[in-house]
Amino acid sequence: MKRREFIKKTCQAAALAAVSGGVGFLFHNRESSAYAKLVQANPAFQVAADSSLPKIVLAQNADHIAALHAALDAVGGIKRFVKPGEKVTIKPNIGWDRTPEQGADTNPVLVGEMVRLCFDAGASEVVISDIPCNYAPRCFLRSGIKEAAEKAGAKVILPRDEDLVTVDLGGKMLTAWPVLKHFIETDRLINMPIVKNHSLSRCTVGMKNLYGILGGSRNQLHQQIDQSIVDLATFFTPTLVVVDATRVMLRGGPTGGSLDDVTIKNTVICATDQVAADARSAEFLDMQPDKIGHIVLAQSSGLGNLDYKAAGYKELS
Amino acid sequence: MSIKTVRNLRRLSQIVFFVIFFWLILKTNFDVDFSVANGSDIHLPYPVSLFLQFDPLTALGTLLSSWTVYEGLLWSLVILIPTIFLGRFFCGWICPMGSLNHWISEIRSERITHRGKGKIESNRYKKYQRIKYYIFFFFIGAALMGTLQVGLLDPLPFLARSIGTVVLPTVQSAALGVVGWIKSIGYPPLGNAAQSVYDTISPLVLNYRPVYFHAILTIGLLFVVVLLLNRLFIRFWCRGICPLGAMLGIFSRYAIFGLQKDESKCNQCAMCNLHCQGGDNPDVGHTWHQAECHLCLNCQAACPEDALSFRFFPQHEPSRANPAPTPKVDVTRRKVLLSFLGGVALFPLIRSGDAFGANPNPRLIRPPGSVNESAFLAKCIRCGQCMRVCPNNALHPTFMESGAEGIWTPILIPVIGYCEPTCTLCTQVCPTGAILHLTIKQKVGDKNEPPVRIGTAFFDRGRCLPWAMGKTCIVCEEWCPTSPKSIYLKEETFVDRNGNEMTLKRPYVDPNLCTGCGACEYACPVVDRPAIYITSVGESRSAKNQILLQRSKLRQGSQQS
């Protein structure tokens, strides 16, 4: 063997050995578990309280847009909640593959008008999203919300796995959980629920509507539904709650399906106190708010006042 | 127009029809024009199964198995009747599977069968080309008895199924994998760029979310093998296997269009054979097989001496050196009869197994609107269009759930996706009427008409949280889409191991209301094997597969089983 060949071969072997060993050490990891990276977020969507204004206003009008305007103006008007240049995310209930008449999803007329109002107040961008139970494209289409919101200029975003981020929600029960990022990467959050009965939480209005922000196995949350709702509402306290009580689902909720399940109430509630909003809405279902677990728990956790009249209540009709 | 121009037209035609075929499969998707103002029925904007309806083999097979030419299948005459006069132009000019085989065969290769003399020899008519006729007659015999097997190898359903359930989902997995990998590098601008490229391109070809199909290994493997066979033998599928090609070959028996060979001009250069697609001996000196020719016109275009020409009523002056062409299929009557009888015998053979009637799989849940099982097996061509269009990824190709007889026919697997009550897309795309059209109103039912049921839900109380573990859960009831709900709750007392009593709600199923949609099974938090599950009993399409006495009576008038 020539010297040159000896050196060359030895160097090649040594280089391969170095690379093999280097890769092993570089990627060596003694930790046996790998958790998903947590995103730290602490959203603050609320505006400053104003004691001269009621915290919850109910307006009744067969013209739903007029009802929305009346209720919203009475809690301070859209300009109180949306400042020019802000990004607004609206969370309607788009949970089910139903038509507007069936009253399982938020009234598209109200959603469209809300988008328009936000733009009037100078919002830079209005995003609409939700993680429905049924197939999302069908829900977005058949609820009429996609059409109405897009016509008003909103960005309607279908939920996708890629857009879920795991966030530490810091609740008693809800800790690290996958969350749709559009609800974190925003300046204002407007919750637009519809009023329906529910066999476990008894009613689903505003706070329960926030379930739609969550990905993951949220069907397991029902094992501790009250605490999980309150944890979620604590983390995602919205700027404003706009309750669609134009149609109210009395039975068969949250899916419904028959027009017999729905009654016409032609009512819109605007509130800055989400507990009061849910409490007042429960009365549409002939329920006493102080008998509803998650509303009681929300009050005792300091989220708001279930005695909505004490909170500052105004009724317009 | 010179022959080279005509050949280029053929190339263009192949591309155009392939693109149309592929585009229609892409559009067999939840890609709809819909406005709430125009009512609530969702319809596909394009007739996505149109190409399949032009398939003469599907038309003939379903005609023999069910004595109906269903709806758009009459279009197949547009292919069949010109074939009678011209020959297998479909194979050379239109068939997307044929084009795919053509292109793959033409990729350069150093293999002996793909170059020079080896290729000329390989392109000569071979005995293996008879196999397709045996397959065809076998399927015809089976169809006549009532089991439709043509869809296994009929090129249009074959390609539609392979693209819809294997190719496109694989492309999507791969694309998502690449995007995920780029994101995992941890340099956000790159990740965002990858995502935006995906967001731009994916709506054109991919689903809104990834889909997963049952039994794709068998479909995918066969597809890959068929494509790879082209690397060994040029257009092996078209020449040797394709039963549609066989059928069109048989129907070109009396063609008035054909190849005319001029012996005096031929100098035996063999250029014609070098480019022959059908393996039909276009050269002077061998018998030209009308039934094998795809009318690709390569031979005429390649001939430097103008010795070959395709024309109406070709003149043949047979000589010793230039034998007459044959319009006949090169199979003996005896073997035709044997293959046919083989197909006939297939029926009692498979039906004496237990999968059809004696011990049907309880999890064999067919799409809504499906006809009863014996009619279903006489109509389904396994094109996979229902599976591709289902927005919930609920419909899948079976493996053995409906026996070997029903391999790749649709099955609903609720754990992956349930049947949305207001969705009728699968009923819109079925080209053969194995799934009949439904409106939302028919599917959901009303006070006078019962809904379309595909099965019934049952509880596995040993796994159910409130039944077995004293845990609160109402998710099945919450999801139940019927109104009033088929799943109802009752307050009951649970005693834990320490003797403490607690009340909780426990779910029950009302079989009078349940349609078997499977939303409960899909939503059940016991994810690995749900505590509520659907079986096929109670399905509208069967008079026999019922639990409730009154329903057996009710349905007997309208459907036989």
Q: What is the rounded distance in angstroms from the CA atom of residue A183 to the CA atom of residue A146?
A: 17
Task: Please state the separation of Cα A254 from the chain's center in Å.
Answer: 16
A97/B208 Cβ within 8 A:
no
Task: Supply the range of the domain harboring residue A304.
Answer: 37-316
Q: Is residue B273 part of a domain?
A: yes
Q: Is residue A287 part of a domain?
A: yes
Domain boundary among B352, B387, B416: B352
Q: Is residue A250 part of a domain?
A: yes
Residues 6+ apart with CB under 8 A from B300: B3, B259, B272, B308, B309, B310
In the chain, the amino acid numbered B241 is I
B35/A147 Cβ within 8 A:
yes
Q: Is residue A18 part of a domain?
A: no
Domain boundary among B301, B319, B352: B352
Q: Is residue B404 part of a domain?
A: no
B478/A222 Cβ within 8 A:
yes
User: What number of residues does chain B have?
Assistant: 561
Tokens of B538: 């109670």
Tokens of B313: 């009523």
Q: Which residues of B158-194 are buried (b: 16+ CB within 10 A; e: fewer)?
A: bbbbbbbbbbbbeebeebbeebeebbeeeeeeebeeb
Q: Is residue A171 part of a domain?
A: yes
Name which of B209, B419, B532 to mutate to probe chain A: the one with the most chain A Cβ atoms within 10 A of its Cβ. B209
- Top pLDDT among B115 and A156 is at A156
Q: Is residue B262 part of a domain?
A: yes
Q: Which residues of B touch A217 (CB under 8 A)?
A: 525, 527
The domain that holds A238 is classified in CATH as 3.40.50.11440
Contacts across the A-B interface (CB distance below 8 Å):
97
Closest by CA position to B272, among listed B254, B296, B240:
B296
**Closest CB from B392, B474, B524 relative to A135:** B392
Q: How far is B368 from chain A (nearest CA, A)?
A: 18
**Closest CB from A144, A147, A261 relative to B483:** A261
- pLDDT the model gives residue A32: 54
Q: pLDDT digit string (tens) for B12-68?
A: 999 999 999 999 999 998 877 777 776 668 888 899 999 999 999 999 999 999 999
Q: How many CA atoms lie within 13 A of B217 on its CB side?
A: 3
- The 3-class secondary structure across B514-553, one letter per residue, is CCCCCHHHHHCCCCCCCCEEEECCCCCCCCCCCCCHHHHH
Q: Is residue B78 part of a domain?
A: yes
Residue A262: closest CA among chain B residues belongs to which residue?
B483
8 A C-beta contact, residue B433 and residue B68: yes
Q: What is the rounded distance in angstroms from the CA atom of residue B293 to the CA atom of residue B255?
A: 12
Q: Is residue B181 part of a domain?
A: yes
The domain that holds B501 is classified in CATH as 3.30.70
Task: Tell me how crowded residue B534 is: count the other CB atoms within 10 A of its CB.
Answer: 31
Q: What is the rounded distance in angstroms from the CA atom of residue B221 to the CA atom of residue B347?
A: 26
Q: Is residue A163 part of a domain?
A: yes
The B-side interface with A (CB below 8 A) comprises: 30, 32, 34-36, 40, 42, 179, 195, 208-209, 391-392, 420-423, 444, 465, 471-475, 477-485, 489, 505, 523-525, 527
Please tell me whether the peptide bond between A108 and the residue prior to it is cis, using omega within 30 degrees of 0: no
Residue B478: closest CA among chain A residues belongs to which residue?
A254
DSSP string, B263-325: TTT-----HHHHT-SS----STTS--BGGG-----HHHHH-TT--EEEEES------SSSPPP
Pairing of strands A87-92, A125-128: parallel
A172 in contact with B, Cβ within 8 Å: no
End-to-end CA gap in chain A: 103
- Do residues B348 and B477 share a domain? no
Closest by CA position to B386, among listed B426, B338, B433:
B426
Structural domains in chain A (count): 1
Closest by CA position to A232, among listed A168, A305, A296:
A168
* Token pair 């979620």: residue: A232
In the chain, the amino acid numbered B311 is R
**Closest CB from A144, A224, A254 relative to B478:** A254
Three-point CA angle A182, A183, A186, nearest 5°: 80
Closest by CA position to A170, among listed A36, A40, A300:
A40
- Do residues B318 and B181 share a domain? yes
Beta-bridge mates of residue A181: none
Element (H, E) at B507: strand B501-509
Q: Is residue B277 part of a domain?
A: yes
- pLDDT the model gives residue B556: 46
Task: Supply the range of the domain harboring residue B533.
Answer: 448-556
Per-residue pLDDT of chain B (561 residues; tens, 9 = 90+): 788 899 999 999 999 999 999 999 999 988 777 777 766 688 888 999 999 999 999 999 999 999 999 989 999 999 999 999 999 999 999 999 999 999 999 888 888 878 888 889 999 999 999 999 999 999 999 999 999 999 999 999 999 999 999 999 999 999 999 998 998 887 889 988 998 999 888 888 888 888 999 989 999 999 999 999 999 899 999 999 999 999 999 999 999 999 998 888 888 899 999 999 999 999 988 899 999 999 999 999 999 999 999 999 988 777 877 888 888 888 999 999 999 999 999 999 999 999 998 899 999 999 999 999 999 999 999 999 999 999 999 999 999 999 999 999 999 999 999 999 989 999 999 999 999 999 988 999 888 889 999 999 999 999 999 999 999 999 999 999 998 999 999 999 999 889 999 999 999 999 999 999 999 999 999 999 999 999 999 999 998 898 887 665 454 444 444
8 A C-beta contact, residue B182 and residue B190: yes
DSSP state of B259: E
Q: Is residue A106 part of a domain?
A: yes
Domain boundary among B302, B336, B352: B352
Q: How much is the CA Rg of chain A, to the nearest whole Å? A: 25
Residues 6+ apart with CB under 8 A from A172: A227, A231
- Do residues B323 and B455 share a domain? no
Q: What is the rounded distance in angstroms from the CA atom of residue A247 to the CA atom of residue A102?
A: 8
A251/B484 Cβ within 8 A:
yes
Beta-bridge mates of residue B495: B501
- Do residues B467 and B344 share a domain? no
Q: How many CA atoms lie within 13 A of B306 on its CB side?
A: 2
Closest by CA position to B70, among listed B79, B80, B61:
B61
Q: Average of pLDDT values for A173-177?
A: 87
* Token pair 């990627």: residue: A27
Residue A259: closest CA among chain B residues belongs to which residue?
B483
Name which of A157, A162, A163 to mutate to probe chain B: the one with the most chain B Cβ atoms within 10 A of its Cβ. A162
- pLDDT the model gives residue B561: 41
Q: Which residues of A274-302 are buried (b: 16+ CB within 10 A; e: fewer)?
A: bbbbbbbbbebbebebeebebbbbbbebe
- pLDDT the model gives residue A47: 86
A5 in contact with B, Cβ within 8 Å: no
- Do residues B265 and B123 share a domain? yes
Q: Is residue B544 part of a domain?
A: yes
What's the maximum distance between 2 C-alpha atoms anywhere in chain B? Answer: 105
Residues 6+ apart with CB under 8 A from B73: B53, B55, B58, B59, B62, B431, B432
Closest by CA position to B351, among listed B289, B403, B287:
B403
Q: Is residue B383 part of a domain?
A: no
- Do residues B459 and B347 share a domain? no
A223/B473 Cβ within 8 A:
yes
Q: Which residues of B touch A203 (CB under 8 A)?
A: none
- pLDDT the model gives residue B400: 93
DSSP state of B94: I
Percentage of chain A exceeding pLDDT 90: 61
- pLDDT the model gives residue B555: 47
- pLDDT the model gives residue B37: 72
Element (H, E) at A317: none
**Closest CB from B208, B471, B489 relative to A199:** B489
Provide the 3-class DSSP secondary structure of residue B162.
helix
B525/A222 Cβ within 8 A:
yes
Structural domains in chain B (count): 2
A134/B420 Cβ within 8 A:
yes
8 A C-beta contact, residue B282 and residue B308: yes
pLDDT-based confidence at residue A199 (cuts at 50, 70, 90) = confident
8 A C-beta contact, residue A105 and residue A91: no
Q: Which residues of B touch A219 (CB under 8 A)?
A: 475, 523-525
8 A C-beta contact, residue A38 and residue A166: yes
Pairing of strands B395-397, B501-509: unpaired
Q: What is the rounded distance in angstroms from the CA atom of residue B151 to the CA atom of residue B364?
A: 20
- Is a pLDDT exceeding 70 seen at residue A53? yes
**Strands, DSSP E only, in B50-96?**
none
